[in-house]
A and B are shown apart, each in its own frame.
Chain A
């Protein structure tokens, strides 16, 4: 879905001093926008930061399947059902490429999933809000995937090759999701009064969490400078947030709906929208795991994993036996 730095760095001081000439060569390659590939030398902190960021991104894709999955069985037409099922399937696919990209850095899938289930690894705060009506599915596609695209487009040029290539594919699919989400809301906005009310209500509930997806304001985003130097991040949180708001406000108006921000107004001088203060206490509470559906999301993920343990064991046992037979 998207990524922003949510976890505190778990870096421990590096015991072995890394050779300066390797560091210099690495920094020079990154500064020249060259890709770093799995077998290339890289500083340990770069590796650990990337594992954290990519696995958090993967977890967001996987947990993100749940709020939308909540509506697949209830989609109001066969066409919408197939679109939604295909979208959630795409997210599973994104999770898979991202886990694979993190594996190229030496992280194992089990370790990453354990970190998610133990609460050590974070995922996007947006998925800890509930999907209450069908309009939420449109709003997620349009706003959440839209915010994700803003975040991820620059990552197509991120310094780590496997991550950049995963992002190219992810971005293509996310743009498709965004259009489909907006299309669902256009149809509803031209529909009955009840449908229009659902759309406005969905915008009211998803607007602020969506613009919080870009992460804390720049003056409170301690890891940004290093991440930007390493090309792990290419634009600041506030720059991306502004871009998203500027692009999205006219789309809200096109639906005949209102943005739930009384302070929002076009600033001719800046050439941007000014917007109201974000409730960062709410954001940090959700990061801490206090979002309204955080417990449901984690319970569902743990249950799927635990209930599936016997399947994974059986697949391994069968594979081992098959190899033994083939070797005999």
Chain B
């Protein structure tokens, strides 16, 4: 498979950047200053990961595309992030439901990727796994706090999780890119991450007093550029300045 490593690094970068972009929408509008700080913190970590993954993708591709070129000059079909990260923030419960599911998956993935045969991926994952472990814990704490808070917060957390369950399946899908790289010891086999993910989610839901999850039919497509309606709007905002002034350096 040609350029599998480029595609893989790109999707890891896209996941982090799109979610970082979403979290930055909260800045200045969170329920308390402390929450504002922690959302910005997670957003910063994710955008930092995106710089590393996209920078590496550009090097692997060898066509002179930088992290910025990849971030600001690709249209929807060329983005390969998972659908979960591009979902609108909704209320704070929906944002935290997404963060919990995504970071729990990302932590398991980076734990495995830190042992990749590709030294650069291993290095980036080893650095990022520390950050992501904290994101998963913080978001898990909020799932518990809101699930076990008031009647309203419990209802909102159930709704927030309900919004995102359909995007869980995509996280564990393997396509030709993943299969090629798993065979080379470069990528992590997502199927192997599933039991740990399910166990962690079940434990947090139980502690939160929330009902067990009944996964609906998965909605997929992000890895091949078939996104939800939301990504185009994210890109329109994010890419507006570099697209308007293509010759400018910032």
Contacts and interface: CB of A to CB of B under 8 A. Distances in A.
B250 A311 contact: no
A184 B250 contact: yes
A192 B72 CA distance: 19
B30 A81 contact: no
Given A78-B47, A134-B250, A308-B35, A69 B237 contact: no
Contacts of B24: 72-73, 81, 85
Q: Is the interface of B mostly helix, strand, loop or mixed?
A: helix
B250 A307 contact: no
B29 A304 contact: yes
Interface string A70-111: 001111111111100110110011011001000000000000
Interface string A126-163: 00000000100000000000000000000000000000
B33 A99 contact: yes
Nearest to A96: B33
B51 A82 contact: yes
A304 B30 contact: yes
Contact of B28 (A69, A75, A76): A69
B150 interface: yes
Contact of A88 (B28, B35, B145, B156): B28
B242 A77 contact: yes
Contacts of A307: 29, 31, 91
B238 interface: yes
Contacts of B43: 85
Given A74-B240, A134-B241, A310-B150, A195 B44 contact: no
A111 to B, nearest CB: 15
A299 to B, nearest CB: 11
B249 A191 contact: yes
Interface residues on A, range: 35 or more
B145 A315 contact: yes
A69 B44 contact: no
A74 B68 contact: no
B41 interface: yes
A78 B67 contact: yes
A170 interface: no
A74 B48 contact: no
Contact of B41 (A89, A187, A188): A89
A317 B150 CA distance: 6
15 contacts: A69-B27, A72-B24, A73-B24, A74-B237, A78-B50, A78-B67, A82-B48, A85-B40, A89-B41, A92-B33, A188-B250, A194-B245, A313-B149, A318-B145, A318-B146
Interface of B: 17, 21, 24-25, 27-37, 40-41, 43-44, 47-48, 50-51, 54, 67-68, 71-72, 91-93, 144-146, 148-150, 152-153, 156, 237-238, 240-242, 245, 247-250
10 tightest A-B CB contacts, nearest first: A308-B31, A314-B149, A314-B153, A89-B40, A65-B28, A311-B31, A69-B28, A76-B250, A76-B241, A304-B29
Interface of A: 62, 65-66, 69, 72-82, 85-86, 88-89, 92-93, 95-96, 99, 134, 184, 187-188, 191-192, 194-195, 300, 303-305, 307-315, 317-318, 321
